[in-house]
A and B are shown apart, each in its own frame.
Chain A
């Protein structure tokens, strides 16, 4: 897998945001919405492998930084699901139509940024689950520092402006949006899950739950299965 990745950009609210691309010259391109928060780091290598595999199959892909994540200079505490949807709309304008959107984990919460896209989802997660995991991490690190914190306190702190959870500055808007956020119901979406999942899905893919690992890792079995399923999906 030697295909080169292109470090492209898109503009959002006066900032240049990174958008990695592979095979952008191909007629069909897929916008990839990454997982949110730490899950993005743990799945990024796997996603880049998917992009290279898609390129080899003659399909382009684009992986934007959401404002306030990864290399973005946007103030993280000002990020929200609304901001991220607006950014995806700006980024997607660079891609050829029809628009194909493949989202992963928390990314599935914001793939409804347009009504004019075909949607593919991998292991969609509720916003509340992401919040609870991050709050537990914060509570555990506070405990090691001799502090006693609970979720109700963290929730109240978020309501007063922002709260730091597992290295993320979460503003009150993002916090309250995540509490309610679920992937939007859509009859046309192709939903995928891991084979180990008991959730309903259009198809189950082999591989491991990289977002639960202590360290980032790749999973060539999973990236190949995702690339194969995406390729048949855009060709259907």
Chain B
């Protein structure tokens, strides 16, 4: 059972990106499916990615396995949202 109120996967990904990057809501709302993440955003290092995955697990009440995580997942904002939507629907 999730203790969280309803939150769409996309809203959860946006909220976590906002927290990790220290941006305001307007800046994160400008992210599109094509926005590049890993490599384009220096704040998004491997430790930040670790925190991001755990936060998504918590906020969406999902479990992400080791072998589901690869570099492609963090290439774009769209990839990450699609992954979160797929996991939330499982």
Residue numbers of A with Cβ under 8 A of B are 38, 126, 129, 132-134, 136-137, 139-141, 144, 150-151, 166, 196, 198-200, 208-209, 211-214, 217
Q: Give the interface centre of A166, A199, A209, A214 by most chain B CB atoms within 10 Å.
A: A214
Residues of chain A with a CB closer than 8 A to B15's CB: 196
> Which A residues touch B45, using CB under 8 A?
214
In terms of DSSP, what is the predominant structure of the interface of chain B?
helix
A58 shortest CB reach to chain B, Å: 32
B-side residues, CB < 8 A to A, are 3-5, 7, 15-16, 18-20, 22, 42-55, 57-59, 66-67
Would A150 and B54 count as touching, CB distance under 8 A? no
Identity of the chain B residue whose Cβ is nearest the Cβ of A211 in the assembled complex: B51
Given A129-B57, A196-B18, A196-B19, are A144 and B7 neighbors across the interface (CB < 8 Å)?
A: no
A133-B20 in contact (CB<8A): no
Most buried by A among B42, B53, B57, B66: B66
- In the complex, the chain B residue whose C-beta lies closest to that of A39 is B51
Q: List 14 A-B contacts (CB under 8 A).
A: A126-B58, A133-B51, A140-B46, A140-B50, A151-B66, A200-B3, A208-B19, A209-B19, A211-B51, A212-B16, A212-B19, A212-B55, A213-B19, A214-B44
Cα A137 to Cα B50 with chains together (Å): 6
Contacts of A196 in B (CB 8 A): 15, 18-19
Which residues of B have CB within 8 Å of A126? Answer: 58
A sample of 19 more A-B contacts (CB under 8 A), given A140-B49, A211-B51, A213-B43, is A38-B47, A126-B58, A133-B50, A133-B51, A133-B54, A136-B49, A136-B50, A136-B53, A137-B47, A137-B50, A151-B66, A196-B19, A209-B20, A212-B16, A212-B20, A212-B51, A214-B20, A214-B42, A214-B48
A144 x B46 contact (CB < 8 A): yes
Closest to A130 in B: B54
Find chain B residues with CB under 8 A from A150 CB: 66-67
Min CB–CB distance B19 → chain A (angstroms): 4
CA distance A129 to B52 in the complex (A): 11
Contacts of B5 in A (CB 8 A): 198
Q: Write the chain B residue with the least CB distance to A131.
A: B54
> Which residue of chain A is the closest to B59 with respect to CB atoms?
A198
Q: Quick check: A137 and B46 within 8 Å, CB to CB?
A: yes
Residue on A nearest B55 in the bound complex, by CB: A212
Docked CA distance A126–B55 (Å)? 11
User: CA separation between A213 and B58, bound complex, in Å?
Assistant: 17
- Give the distance in Å from the alpha carbon of A200 to the alpha carbon of B52 in the complex: 21
Task: Knowing A140-B49, A198-B59, say if A213 contacts B54 (CB, 8 Å).
Answer: no
CA gap between A211 and B48 in the complex, in Å = 10
Cβ-closest chain A residue relative to B71: A143
A46 nearest CB across to chain B (Å): 13
Complex Cα gap A214–B54 (Å): 15
